[in-house]
């Protein structure tokens, strides 16, 4: 009998919204770590972060911090991913990245262990995690694939924390300022978000689609294998991505058939009493689905999850848990 393997892991972006949640999730799910390194840019170096009952000090990332790292979680944006992932892989780490840099590469597996654990068989040291809005849709819709899911039209309602810790703090400050009849600063978000809603998540690109819409369409099409149309809207909610979905099937189905497919699915909770809302899912690890309606071959539903927890941290740790299972089996 071999002793339980424990890993040297690093979190790049540990001082950010996803990184903090990731540290908490690694501890809560008791991922077997021997050492955890909290990495960030120069600007937050030295900050103290909670890791269960322990406190970690954040360090600015330098090549030496990657030495000996077996799993590098990347929650630091595209630029940092492009800069540090190649170096980390070279140094022997498997990288699990939640930025667009990896997700946009067609040959990098896009993993949601609850629905496509098999894609990890093909990884070459880099695994991508999808955007939070695609993840909530994919978990809610993948059970409908054997009913002939053929097309998805989705509107995502994305929270301030989707734009990182800066976005979350800006909504908070704007809200306090407005309630105190003070002028409002707009720096992180493109418009005032407090007491407002706007149809733009990320930069607008060629053809008018936003970065959030492109990510959602790209990731969901990859995860479910069906064409997707998306509209992404920023809403004045701190945490929790909601999606309003219209899905088409190749044949007619009944409400009972669709409900039957969604019941008892790992990571998914069907809400019958009322409907799920962002305030219900803070810190929850599941995707909640409600307002299920079926009309012939058209299924409409509403789904919600915590974008930082379920939409990022839990998925990253689930990937690491699968890597651990494979490595542990290989050692036996």
Ligand X SMILES: NC(=O)c1ccc[n+]([C@@H]2O[C@H](COP(=O)([O-])OP(=O)(O)OC[C@H]3O[C@@H](n4cnc5c(N)ncnc54)[C@H](OP(=O)(O)O)[C@@H]3O)[C@@H](O)[C@H]2O)c1
All residues at 6 or more sequence positions from 5 whose CB lies less than 8 Å from its CB, including other chains: 32, 324, 327, 328, 331
At residue 240, φ and ψ (nearest 5 deg) are 120, 115
Least distance to ligand X, CB of residue 77, Å: 4
**277, 271, 306: which is closest to 291 by C-alpha?**
271
At residue 97, φ and ψ (nearest 5 deg) are -120, 135
Instruction: Tell me which DSSP letter residue 210 carries.
Output: B
**Residue facing ligand X at closest CB distance:** 16
Instruction: Indicate the residue among 80 and 140 with the shorter CB distance to ligand X.
Output: 80
Least distance to ligand X, CB of residue 14, Å: 6
Least distance to ligand X, CB of residue 215, Å: 8
Least distance to ligand X, CB of residue 214, Å: 12
Instruction: Indicate the residue among 22 and 253 with the shorter CB distance to ligand X.
Output: 22
Instruction: Indicate the residue among 70 and 97 with the shorter CB distance to ligand X.
Output: 97
Instruction: Indicate the residue among 14 and 147 with the shorter CB distance to ligand X.
Output: 14
Least distance to ligand X, CB of residue 53, Å: 22
Least distance to ligand X, CB of residue 286, Å: 16
Instruction: Indicate the residue among 19 and 147 with the shorter CB distance to ligand X.
Output: 19
CA distances from 23 to 46, 205, 317 (A): 16, 33, 10
Tell me if 35 sits within 8 A of 319, measured CB to CB.
no
Token output for 60: 């600015």
The 3-state DSSP class for residue 212 equals helix
Alpha helices of 49-192 — where are they, by DSSP H?
77-90, 100-103, 113-116, 132-141, 164-179
Cβ-based burial of 34 (10 A; exposed 0-12, middle 13-18, buried ≥19):
exposed
Least distance to ligand X, CB of residue 332, Å: 34
Instruction: Indicate the residue among 28 and 150 with the shorter CB distance to ligand X.
Output: 28
CA atoms within 13 A on the CB side of 284: 20
For ligand X, the binding residues (CB under 6 A) are 12-19, 40-41, 43-44, 61, 75-77, 79-80, 98-99, 131-132, 161-162, 164-166, 307-308, 311-312
Instruction: Indicate the residue among 16 and 143 with the shorter CB distance to ligand X.
Output: 16
Least distance to ligand X, CB of residue 117, Å: 20
Token output for 246: 């219209």
Angle of helix 314-331 versus helix 17-28 axis, rounded to 10? 50
Instruction: Indicate the residue among 218 and 292 with the shorter CB distance to ligand X.
Output: 218
Tell me if 73 sits within 8 A of 127, measured CB to CB.
no
Token output for 6: 């424990």
């Amino acid at each position: 009998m071999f002793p339980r393997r424990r890993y040297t892991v690093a979190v790049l972006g540990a001082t950010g919204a996803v990184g903090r949640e990731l540290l908490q999730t690694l501890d809560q799910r008791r991922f077997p770590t021997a050492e955890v390194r909290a990495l960030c840019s120069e600007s937050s170096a030295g900050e103290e972060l909670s890791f269960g009952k322990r406190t970690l000090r954040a360090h600015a990332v330098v090549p030496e911090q990657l030495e000996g790292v077996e799993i590098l979680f990347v929650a630091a944006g595209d630029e940092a991913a492009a800069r540090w992932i190649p170096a980390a892989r070279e140094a022997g780490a498997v990288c699990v990245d939640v930025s667009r840099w990896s997700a946009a590469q067609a040959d990098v597996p896009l993993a949601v262990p609850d629905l496509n654990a098999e894609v990890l068989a093909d990884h070459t040291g880099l695994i991508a995690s999808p955007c939070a809005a695609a993840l909530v849709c994919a978990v809610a819709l993948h059970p409908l694939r054997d009913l002939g899911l053929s097309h998805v039209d989705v509107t995502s309602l994305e929270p301030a924390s989707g734009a990182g810790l800066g976005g979350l703090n800006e909504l908070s400050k704007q809200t306090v300022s407005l309630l105190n009849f003070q002028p409002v600063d707009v720096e992180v978000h493109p418009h005032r978000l407090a007491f407002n809603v706007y149809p733009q998540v990320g930069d607008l690109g060629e053809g008018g689609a936003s970065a959030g819409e492109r990510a959602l369409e790209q990731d969901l099409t990859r995860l479910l294998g069906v064409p997707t149309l998306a509209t992404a809207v920023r809403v004045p909610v701190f945490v929790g991505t909601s999606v309003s979905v219209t899905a088409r099937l190749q044949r007619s189905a009944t409400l009972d058939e669709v409900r039957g497919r969604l019941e008892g699915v790992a990571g998914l909770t069907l809400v019958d009493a009322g409907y799920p809302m962002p305030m219900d899912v803070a810190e929850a690890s599941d995707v909640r689905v409600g307002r299920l309606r079926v009309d012939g071959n058209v299924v409409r539903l509403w789904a919600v999850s915590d974008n930082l927890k379920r939409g990022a941290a839990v998925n990253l740790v689930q990937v690491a848990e699968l890597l651990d299972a494979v490595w542990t089996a290989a050692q036996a």
